[in-house]
Copies of this chain bind each other. A is one copy, B any other.
C-alpha cells in the first residue's frame, strides 16, 4: 500500500549544542511494548529510574524524578515551584539560559535581581554575593552550571555558600553538564538541580531529570499560593512518582524507557570514566581548533569540555559553513544564540557523540570548508594538536 508517510530521516553526526546522538540500546528500548502508566511493571521501571538518577546526579534527595517535557520543562518546574509572588530572587546570568531563568522567575511573580556577566565568562561570584546582601531576605539564588549558549562552566560551590549563608536556596541548571562533567548535587549542597535527557545523557529530548533537597521540598510544600503551572506542579507530579502513585498525567512511557536505558548506559560506563572521556575529547577538539588558527570564545579555565564555542573568523559566512557541514558531511554544529548570533559556532561533544572519530572528523571537515571560504585553516596543525590530546584514547 502507498503510505501517506514519507518518513526517512537521514543519519546525522550531531555535534551541536544538543540533541546528541542516541545509543542503539536507547533507540531499541523505545520499541518495547507500551505499558500503562499505573502498571506495576512500569512503576518498577520508574523506581529504577529514580535510583539511577540519584546515582548519576550524586544525590540522596528523596525528591528525584523526571518532568514530562524537554529540558526547559525542568527549568520551569524548578523555578515556578520555588518562586512565589513577591519572593526575592537573585539570578547570576552569563548567557541565554541564565536570562531564561530570569524570565521564568518574573512570570512566577518573583522580584528578580539579575547579575550579568559577559557572554563567555563565568557567573560573577562577588556580584551575586553583593546582590544577595543588597536585596536581603532572598529566597532563591540561581545559576547555570554549564551555559549552553557560551560553552562556559561556572563552579557551583561559591554560590552554595553565598545562598546558604543568606538563608536562600540554590538552583543550578545542569542541562548541558549532567552525564558529561561532574554534577555532584549533595557535595555541592545545591537545592534544586535539573537537566535534560538529550545532551550528555544521550537519550532523545523529552524528559527533564530534576532533584530537590529537603529544604527546597519544604519550600514547595510551604507555598501559600499554588504553583502557576498545573502541568508542572511538583506537588502533583511527586504524588505520582512516590508510593501514592496518584494520577496526574499519563507518563511519556517510551521516553521513560529511553531514560532508563540511557541511565543504565551511564552507570555501565561508570561516571568517572564517562567524565574523563568527555574531558579528553573536548580538550582535544579545543586544541585542534586553536591548532587550526581559530580562537576559542570562552574564558580559559572555564571552558566546558562538552560544548565549545569558537569565534567565526572575519570574512567567513556563518550560514554557508554550517550548511556545507550539514549538506556535504552530514555534520550538525550550532550557530550562536542571542548576543553571539553569527559571532560563534557551538561544537558539542556530548554523550554518544563524544568520541575521537568525531573530533577528527569535525576538525577536518570544518578546516576544509573554512579554506574554501578564504580562511587559511592549518588543518594539519589542528589535527596533530587534537591527535596528541587523544593519545591513549
Q: Does A295 contact B (CB under 8 A)?
A: no
B30 x A107 contact (CB < 8 A): no
Q: Which residues 311-343 of A sit at the B interface, judged by CB distance below 8 A?
A: 326, 332, 337
Return the chain B residue nearest A30 by Cβ: B30
Return the chain B residue nearest A9 by Cβ: B32
A254 x B35 contact (CB < 8 A): no
CB of A286 to closest CB in B, whole Å: 22
Q: Does A364 contact B (CB under 8 A)?
A: no
Distance between Cα atoms of A37 and B18 in the complex (Å):
9
Q: Does A389 contact B (CB under 8 A)?
A: no
B231 x A69 contact (CB < 8 A): yes
B252 x A205 contact (CB < 8 A): yes
The 8 Å CB contact of A7, one of B232, B255, B264, is: B264
Given known A-B contacts A36-B16, A253-B205, A5 and B70 have beta carbons under 8 A apart = no
Given known A-B contacts A5-B264, A45-B9, A231-B72, A255 and B257 have beta carbons under 8 A apart = no
A34 x B14 contact (CB < 8 A): yes
B34 x A21 contact (CB < 8 A): yes
Distance between Cα atoms of A247 and B97 in the complex (Å):
12
Return the chain B residue nearest A353 by Cβ: B34
Distance between Cα atoms of A69 and B206 in the complex (Å):
8
For A222-265 the 0/1 string (1 means CB < 8 A from B) is: 00001111111000000000000001111111110110110111
Chain B residues with Cβ below 8 Å from A28 are: 31
A9 x B42 contact (CB < 8 A): yes
A72 x B249 contact (CB < 8 A): yes
Chain B residues with Cβ below 8 Å from A16 are: 36
Q: Does A268 contact B (CB under 8 A)?
A: yes
B332 x A10 contact (CB < 8 A): no
Chain B residues with Cβ below 8 Å from A29 are: 7
Distance between Cα atoms of A332 and B36 in the complex (Å):
7
Chain B residues with Cβ below 8 Å from A22 are: 33-34
Task: Give 13 CB contacts A-B under 8 Å.
Answer: A4-B52, A4-B264, A5-B264, A7-B257, A9-B35, A9-B41, A9-B42, A19-B36, A22-B34, A30-B30, A68-B70, A70-B251, A206-B255
